[in-house]
Structure 1
Amino acid sequence: MKLIVATKNKGKLAEIKRMLSDIDLQVVSFEEEHFSDVLEDGKTFLENARKKALACHKPDAWSLADDSGLCVDALDLAPGVYSARYAGERATDSDNNAKLISALDGVPTEKRAASFHCALVLVSPAGNKWEFEGKMEGSVLQEPRGENGFGYDPLFLVKGTDRSAAELSPGEKDAYSHRGRALRKAMQVLVALLSKEG
């Protein structure tokens, strides 16, 4: 059976596929299933994730949607739900990172606390819905570090480490990250439900 992931973000899709690799599901993106883009106009990560998961629901597949982003204390929790388009609708990761560096110009290290948030919504073929959330705390660096990851990872110093999220190995990132935490909760539910079906 398929699990349709409601994302165009190749980095997110790779993380989800990696973490779900032991589950007997064919993980595909919603583009592969020819779904159209979903307007992410929710006020919260959870609202957007719900909307995306339901938009790519099919009666013969599971669907999973993630909405996530960076919330910076000194910026009144911006960029928040606008994380992917912080520097504009067609912004690249580099554009968004440059805008974040500029927005925090002059803000001292001790006032650069931030957290990544992830809301995941899982929908069964029958249309039943489960919701999960995860969070990773840290702070925003003055300049990018590391080559791994995507998005704001090079600017995010992970709490409890001396490394940016982009300096973590994929396995380490899965252990620490907001998405990893939410996905582990979702996996427990998914495995239990699939074992009942089997």
Structure 2
Amino acid sequence: MTAVPGNARLLLATGNAHKLGELRAILTGEDGVPGLRPDEIIGSGELGLPEPVEDGATFAENALIKARALAQATGRPAIADDSGIAVDIMGGAPGIFSARWSGRHGDDVANLDLLLAQLADVPDRHRGGAFVCAAVLVHPDGREIVRLGELRGTIARAPRGEGGFGYDPIFIPEGMKVSSAELNADEKNAISHRGRAFRELARDIAAGIA
């Protein structure tokens, strides 16, 4: 059984520092888990655990694979998410392959550049899409909860903004004129697919770690 730091109240199945920081802010925010502090949320990368193979066919399946592996390794409740961008005219692609769309997992620049190249000749009226997130809580005894979040928008023709990560610089949230990367962290978390999914899951998490 993998040892867990004494201050840990919540285990998050990710080694992605950007995602860990974003989820710490969401889960300890106004609509997050009452009384939870950022330093009490520990990522699986900090525990030295390997990333499991994500071979599910949906965001929810991949999130469950990650959370199940962490719960089994530690004997503690674990949360995870799987998320990505789904472009309407591409039939929902990149979808679950968003993080490795270019063939190199986690290469944000290459993934973004490839998607822009594939949409180069697509007119603005057909550039709709969504960020999608499945957030899950898995207990060691097998109980599982899945919550979903979505943010609709359009795909820009060039990156804009220095904030965020992944496809944020080319995603214009519905009703806005700026990209997700041009929003500050609080603005982004208030409307994001990940924020919506984890705020739905917050009450389940609070009950699970009480």
Distance (Å, rounded) in 2 between the aligned partners of 1:79 and 1:54: 24
2:22 is matched with 15
* Counterpart code for 1:165: S
Shift of 1:189: 2.0
* Counterpart code for 2:147: F
Q: 2:27, 2:199 within 8 Å by CA — same for their partners in 1? A: no
Q: 2:36 aligns with which of 18, 21, 24?
A: 24
2:3 is matched with none
1:172 is matched with 187
Q: 2:82, 2:133 within 8 Å by CA — same for their partners in 1? A: yes
SS of residue matched to 2:46: coil
Shift of 1:60: 5.0
2:47 is matched with 33
Return the TM-score normalized by structure 1.
0.92
Q: 1:3, 1:28 within 8 Å by CA — same for their partners in 2? A: yes
69-78 or 1-10, which deviates more: 1-10
Q: 2:57 aligns with which of 43, 55, 72?
A: 43
Shift of 1:126: 4.3
* Counterpart code for 1:2: R
Shift of 1:34: 2.3
* Counterpart code for 1:120: A
Specify every segment of 5 or more residues in structure 2 that has no aligned partner in the other structure, as ranges.
1-7, 29-33
Q: How many equivalent pairs are there?
A: 195
SS of residue matched to 1:147: coil
1:72 aligns with 2:79: no
Deviations for 1:70-121, whole angstroms, at most 9, x for unmatched residues? 0001111110000000001345111011001100011011100010100011
Deviations for 1:115-166, whole angstroms, at most 9, x for unmatched residues? 0100011123544221111000001000000111000000000001111100
Q: 2:128, 2:155 within 8 Å by CA — same for their partners in 1? A: yes
Q: 2:84, 2:95 within 8 Å by CA — same for their partners in 1? A: yes
Q: 2:15, 2:46 within 8 Å by CA — same for their partners in 1? A: no
Alignment CA distance shift 1:76-1:95 (3 Å): same
Return the TM-score normalized by structure 2.
0.87
Equivalences for 1:69-108 in 2 at 5 Å?
69-90=84-105, 92-108=107-123
Q: 1:150 aligns with which of 161, 165, 177?
A: 165
1:55 is matched with 69
Specify every segment of 5 or more residues in structure 1 that has no aligned partner in the other structure, as ranges.
none
Q: 1:2, 1:62 within 8 Å by CA — same for their partners in 2? A: no
Distance (Å, rounded) in 2 between the aligned partners of 1:128 and 1:179: 22
Distance (Å, rounded) in 2 between the aligned partners of 1:7 and 1:178: 17
Distance (Å, rounded) in 2 between the aligned partners of 1:114 and 1:73: 5
* Counterpart code for 2:44: F
SS of residue matched to 2:54: coil
Moved over 4 A (4+): none
Q: What RMSD in Å do the two structures reach over aligned CA positions?
A: 1.6
